[in-house]
Amino acid sequence: MNEKITIQNLSVTADGKSILANINLTILEHEIFSIIGPAHSGKTTLLRTINRLIETQPGFSRTGKLLLDGKDVLNWDIETLRRRVGLIFATPIPLPGTIFDNIAYGPRLKGIRNKRKLTEIVEHTLRAAFLWDEVKDRLDTSALRLSGGQQQRLCIARTLALDPEVVMMDEPCSGLDPISTAQIEDAMRQLKNRYTFILVTNNVKQAARVSDRVAFFLAGQLIEVNSAEIIFTRPADKRTDDYISGRIG
């Protein structure tokens, strides 16, 4: 499989404080790549550096190289990059408006105005996110009335509407009930063939369930990266082992 994302010696600081130190990592196409680690390990910052969302925050700076499909992300047109690499946040954030409008928002910004095309996109992505059956009769109602799990699946559909190649999920199931969690994990497995998934999660068991490869971060450093099987059965680093067995957390 090809390298989708290559990270070389990446360091990120915010207001002088080091958040990520010297990260070297590759993420392959069509895999589910999990990033695990305790809070404040820099996992979210890594995602936000990949899609350059971190640039909207003042006071940050970064060194090192981050390549998407072999090209430095800094050389990508930033809007194209963000459509190519979608991000789903930890708390579901539906925009005020209808379900239809939420999903059509991204495509509309890109210039797609044709109503039929938009409807197609809405249905297609809602099906992929396992939400279509639940909302197909009420696409014109407010997205704010959906349950937490439904809203998160809406956010997934919204991201998929831009036809990304990489989908990054930042603790997408935190606060969701087990059924919604299972649905989202199912969606990931089903969609693996079309997309590359990067999953940040605090839930070790979830990572064990869905991942192909796993990286363990601790306090801004990459401790270990390997296949899921190895990480969860015979991790090379003691700290990884401590985290997975709950001794640190």
Residues within window 135-174 making contact with other proteins, judged by CB under 8 A: 158-159, 162
Q: Cβ closer to other proteins: 121 or 214?
A: 121
Least separation in angstroms between residue 35's CB and other proteins is 18
Least separation in angstroms between residue 163's CB and other proteins is 11
Structure tokens at 70: 């072999």
Least separation in angstroms between residue 106's CB and other proteins is 4
- Stretch of 62-70, 103-111, 113-121, 218-226 contacting other proteins, by CB under 8 A: 103-111
Please tell me the distance from the alpha carbon of residue 204 to that of residue 151, in angstroms, as a whole number: 23
Does 110 participate in binding other proteins (rule CB under 8 A)? yes
Place of tokens 């979210």: 44
| Total number of residues that touch other proteins (CB under 8 A) | 22
Q: Cβ closer to other proteins: 62 or 213?
A: 62
**Applying CB under 8 A, which of residues 16, 17, 39, 58 lies at the interface with other proteins?**
58
Residues within window 22-51 making contact with other proteins, judged by CB under 8 A: 51
Which DSSP state fits 182? H
Least separation in angstroms between residue 79's CB and other proteins is 5
Q: Cβ closer to other proteins: 156 or 204?
A: 156
Q: Which amino acid is it at 215?
A: A
Asked if 102 and 181 touch (Cβ cutoff 8 Å), the reply is no
Q: What's the distance, Cα to Cα, between the start and end of the chain in Å?
A: 33
Structure tokens at 191: 């969609």
Please tell me the distance from the alpha carbon of residue 93 to that of residue 109, in angstroms, as a whole number: 18
Least separation in angstroms between residue 109's CB and other proteins is 5
Output phi, psi for 73, to 5 deg: -60, -25
Asked if 48 and 87 touch (Cβ cutoff 8 Å), the reply is yes
Please tell me the distance from the alpha carbon of residue 73 to that of residue 205, in angstroms, as a whole number: 32
Convert residues 63-102 into a mask of x (bound to other proteins by CB under 8 A) and - (unbound).
----------------xx-xx--xx-x-x-x-xx------
**Applying CB under 8 A, which of residues 42, 106, 220, 235 lies at the interface with other proteins?**
106
Q: Cβ closer to other proteins: 12 or 47?
A: 47
DSSP class per residue in 74-126: GGS-HHHHHHHEEEE-SS--PPSSBHHHHHHHHHHHHT---HHHHHHHHHHHH
Helix (H, G, I), strand (E, B), or coil: what is residue 157?
helix
Q: Which residues make up the interface to other proteins (CB under 8 A)?
A: 51, 53, 56, 58, 79-80, 82-83, 86-87, 89, 91, 93, 95-96, 105-106, 109-110, 158-159, 162
